[in-house]
């Protein structure tokens, strides 16, 4: 994502160039869901607090099975 200073009509100001303010990083290897590194980090139990609420979705066995690629186990855990 880039920007360039413009005049009131939206035309780029003379002598200005595009400035990059954000860039998409490559997805982690073997990522089936197109998640970013950030999402993998916040979904990880490694970065969780020591004591989790019982309602924390990271504790759900269906979610864990899905993350590991075991679709049949994930489906049976939801029933």
21-35 pLDDT, tens per residue?
999 888 888 887 788
pLDDT at 43 over 80: no
Domain-located, residue 61: yes
32 in a domain, yes or no?
A: no
For all residues of the chain together, what is the average pLDDT? Answer: 85
pLDDT, position 47: 67
Question: What is residue 12's predicted lDDT score, i.e. its pLDDT?
Answer: 96
Report the pLDDT value the prediction gives residue 10, as an integer from 0 to 100: 95
- pTM exceeds 0.75, yes or no: no
Count of domains in the chain?
1
Q: Coil, strand or helix: which one is 4?
A: coil
3-state SS, 14-49, equals CCCCCEECCCCCCCCCCCCCCCCHHHHHHHCHHHCC
In a domain, 27, yes or no: no
């Amino acid at each position: 994502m880039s920007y360039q200073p413009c005049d009131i009509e939206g035309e780029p100001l003379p002598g200005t160039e595009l400035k990059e303010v954000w860039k998409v990083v490559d997805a982690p290897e073997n990522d089936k869901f197109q998640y970013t590194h950030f999402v993998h980090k916040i979904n990880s139990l490694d970065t969780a607090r020591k004591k989790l609420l019982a309602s924390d979705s990271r504790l759900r066995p269906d979610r864990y099975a899905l993350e590991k690629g075991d679709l049949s186990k994930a489906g049976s855990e939801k029933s």
